[in-house]
Amino acid sequence: MDLFSHAEFDGHEEVHFLHHRESGLRAIVALHDTTLGPAIGGCRMWPYASDAEALADVLRLSRGMTYKTAMAGLAFGGGKSVVIGDPRRDKSPALLRAFGRAVESLAGRYYTGEDVGTAPADMDIAGGVTRYVLGRSEGGSGDPSPMTARGVLLGIRVAVRHRLGRDRLQGITVAVQGLGHVGMSLAGLLAEEGARLVVADLDPARSEEAARRFGARVVDGTEILSVPCEVLAPCALGGVIDDHSLPRLRCAVIAGAANNQLAAPRHGDGLHERRILYAPDYVINAGGVINIAEELHPEGYRRERALDRLGVIGERLAEVFTRAARRDEPTHRVADAMAREILAAARRARAA
């Protein structure tokens, strides 16, 4: 398995392969770029089909965190860890402690937290052996999802203003795919602003809840991507914008929380050709990491301060949209270029 010539390798600073015989821990920690500060990024536990799949995931996710923190104006770099295994079967206190000891051995170059397959209670256990854990159940910043949803709402407002020239979401139709932690919270915020909701979730109980609480119209999972609407908000899986969905889209804006919404960069080019305004995922969904990073504030975590900081999401998106319009370029490419500029400027400042 190649590392330095791997397709997802992007000059990552450190990649650590962890194995702990007694607990069965098999994990990879990747620190992509620490120019702006220590790497930050959650710990994902997933039954990867192969080590190669886990490596590709951690390389890609840690790079995404570098871009996300740079665009969010945080003094953190990008990192991520993946634990290979089924969280329902293979997770144990011993495994979490072994993982925590490995994080501690990185001496503050990497801060971890919960992600898919891990929870705040797991961070409590890992946090028993390392200082470098955020998002504990006690004394932490709590569930990041409501903050992520608020950030997405700000992003939707900016996108609607830019693409449709409308200042309010009253009467705007938003199709929300996925009503989990973020999607349900977002649906509630949109309903408060008078948006019309169309929703889909694999779990019918969630769709029914949105219909009952917010008067949402329910469609099935295959239909949601082709519903006529002003805004499509993907809040479920990654890779939703692909060769199959692209020609069927009937929205003016795509702005949602899901990570890695574009199956490949060329699908972002396809959105641009169709005049669909895409809010780059790592810019609009940064509310969670903005929130958790506040835990390291010298005065301790304060929700009001985190809420204030969310404003950067709207500002950055407005900048991305304006630049993209001026140059007639796809927004995902403009956002990547902006993130790289931020990093290059920080490197120059450090070298001076």
Catalytically active residues are 80
Closest Cα to residue 347, out of 36, 90, 39? 36
3-state SS, residue 72: coil
* Contact assessment for residue 110 and residue 257, using Cβ atoms and an 8 Å cutoff: no
3-state SS, residue 230: coil
Place of tokens 């500029």: 341
Which one of residues 82, 216, 236, 241 is an interface residue with ligand NAI (CB under 6 A)?
Answer: 236
Q: Which is nearer to ligand NAI, 155 or 330 (CB)?
A: 155
Report, in Å, the least distance between residue 313 CB and ligand NAI. 11
Report, in Å, the least distance between residue 349 CB and ligand NAI. 29
Which positions from 262 through 321 interact with ligand NAI, judged by CB under 6 A? 285, 288
Which one of residues 51, 86, 203, 273 is an interface residue with ligand NAI (CB under 6 A)?
Answer: 203
Interface with ligand NAI (CB under 6 A), residue total: 25
Report, in Å, the least distance between residue 282 CB and ligand NAI. 9
Q: Which is nearer to ligand NAI, 188 or 238 (CB)?
A: 238
Which one of residues 153, 154, 174, 179 is an interface residue with ligand NAI (CB under 6 A)?
Answer: 179
Which one of residues 101, 161, 166, 181 is an interface residue with ligand NAI (CB under 6 A)?
Answer: 181
Handedness of CA 238, 119, 302, 186 (dihedral sign): positive
Does 341 bind ligand NAI (CB under 6 A)? Our answer is no
Q: Which is nearer to ligand NAI, 70 or 258 (CB)?
A: 258
Place of tokens 């504030």: 297
Q: Which is nearer to ligand NAI, 23 or 226 (CB)?
A: 226
Beta partners for residue 40, in sequence order = 78, 111
Closest Cα to residue 261, out of 335, 171, 163? 335
Alpha-carbon distance of 289 to 74, in angstroms, equals: 9
Alpha-carbon distance of 107 to 104, in angstroms, equals: 5
Which one of residues 15, 182, 191, 312 is an interface residue with ligand NAI (CB under 6 A)?
Answer: 182
Closest Cα to residue 61, out of 43, 74, 85? 43
Does 180 bind ligand NAI (CB under 6 A)? Our answer is yes
Cα 85-90-96 angle, rounded to 5 deg: 95
Does 257 bind ligand NAI (CB under 6 A)? Our answer is yes
Does 223 bind ligand NAI (CB under 6 A)? Our answer is no
> For residue 219, what are the contacts with CB-CB under 8 A and spacing of at least 6?
175, 198, 199, 200, 227
Which positions from 122 through 161 interact with ligand NAI, judged by CB under 6 A? 144-145, 148
* Contact assessment for residue 199 and residue 176, using Cβ atoms and an 8 Å cutoff: yes
Burial-class residue 188 by CB neighbours within 10 Å (0-12, 13-18, 19+): middle
Q: What are phi and psi of 260, to 5 degrees?
A: 55, 55
Which one of residues 113, 135, 183, 314 is an interface residue with ligand NAI (CB under 6 A)?
Answer: 183
Q: Which is nearer to ligand NAI, 308 or 341 (CB)?
A: 308
293: which 2 tokens? Answer: 């990073």
User: For 291, how many CA atoms within 13 A lie in the half-sphere containing its CB?
Assistant: 22
* Contact assessment for residue 314 and residue 37, using Cβ atoms and an 8 Å cutoff: no
Q: Which is nearer to ligand NAI, 25 or 290 (CB)?
A: 290
Which one of residues 171, 204, 215, 221 is an interface residue with ligand NAI (CB under 6 A)?
Answer: 221
Which one of residues 35, 69, 81, 177 is an interface residue with ligand NAI (CB under 6 A)?
Answer: 177
Which one of residues 187, 258, 283, 312 is an interface residue with ligand NAI (CB under 6 A)?
Answer: 258
Does 217 bind ligand NAI (CB under 6 A)? Our answer is no
Per CB under 6 A, the segment of 26-34, 168-176, 256-264, 333-341 that binds ligand NAI is: 256-264
Report the interface residues with ligand NAI, using CB under 6 A. Answer: 144-145, 148, 177-183, 200-203, 206, 221, 235-238, 257-259, 285, 288
